[in-house]
């Protein structure tokens, strides 16, 4: 289930966000995100790792890093998205790969934007570690809510 909420609009200095929600093969789950600034860096970041035993590790902004590895360009909108990532959360590092590249959503009629969201897999040292979702917003245009 994917549900987003906020107590305020997107900060003026932020352009969009990158988010992952991964169910790990060991029974745990990872959620990590970053709000991007106008230069493409991190304006804010955070996340949490729920271990298989139910214990939770919450990450501070400095403990979460998204590093793009590969881009895909939409043939419809012309937007380029970084669909492959190296995500560091605390002392854990995950390679995030889309199950397929073309997962762009054109929601201009309802939400006024185009974004990328879709099924992804997580790998650790090149080996399968889990599956979930990757969401990339603000690449087509800055989100204005």
Which residue range is the domain that position 109 belongs to?
14-136
Would 4 be classed as within a structural domain?
no
The contacts of residue 125 (CB under 8 Å, 6+ apart) are none
Would 114 be classed as within a structural domain?
yes
Number of other residues whose CB lies within 10 A of the CB of residue 58? 11
- What does the pLDDT read at residue 1? 44
- What does the pLDDT read at residue 96? 98
Q: Residue with structure tokens 């590249």?
A: 101
Would 9 be classed as within a structural domain?
no
List the pLDDT tens digit at each of the 145 positions of the chain: 454 555 555 667 778 899 999 999 999 999 999 999 888 878 889 999 999 999 999 999 999 999 999 999 999 999 999 999 999 999 999 999 999 999 999 999 988 899 999 999 999 999 999 999 999 999 998 766 5
Q: Among 113, 132, 137, 100, which residue's Cα sits nearest to residue 1?
A: 132
Question: Beta strand 80-89 with 127-136: parallel, antiparallel or unpaired?
Answer: unpaired
Q: Give the total number of structural domains in the chain.
A: 1
CA–CA distance, 85 with 47 (Å, rounded to integer): 16
Would 3 be classed as within a structural domain?
no
Query: Can you give the pTM of this predicted structure?
Result: 0.90
- What does the pLDDT read at residue 145? 54
* CATH code of the domain containing 118: 2.40.370.10
- Greatest Cα pair distance, the chain, in angstroms, is 44
Would 86 be classed as within a structural domain?
yes
């Amino acid at each position: 289930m994917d549900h987003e909420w906020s107590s305020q609009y997107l900060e003026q200095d932020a352009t969009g966000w990158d988010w992952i929600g991964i169910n790990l093969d060991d029974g745990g789950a990872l959620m990590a995100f970053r709000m991007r600034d106008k230069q493409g860096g991190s304006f804010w970041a955070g996340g949490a790792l729920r271990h298989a035993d139910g214990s939770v590790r919450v990450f501070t902004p400095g403990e979460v890093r998204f590093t793009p590895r590969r881009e895909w360009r939409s043939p419809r909108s012309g937007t380029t998205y970084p669909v492959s990532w190296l995500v560091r959360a605390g002392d854990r590092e995950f390679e995030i790969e889309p199950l397929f590249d073309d997962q762009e959503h054109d929601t201009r009629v309802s939400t006024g934007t185009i974004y990328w969201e879709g099924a992804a897999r997580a790998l650790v040292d090149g080996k399968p570690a889990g599956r979930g979702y990757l969401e990339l917003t603000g690449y087509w245009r800055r989100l204005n809510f």
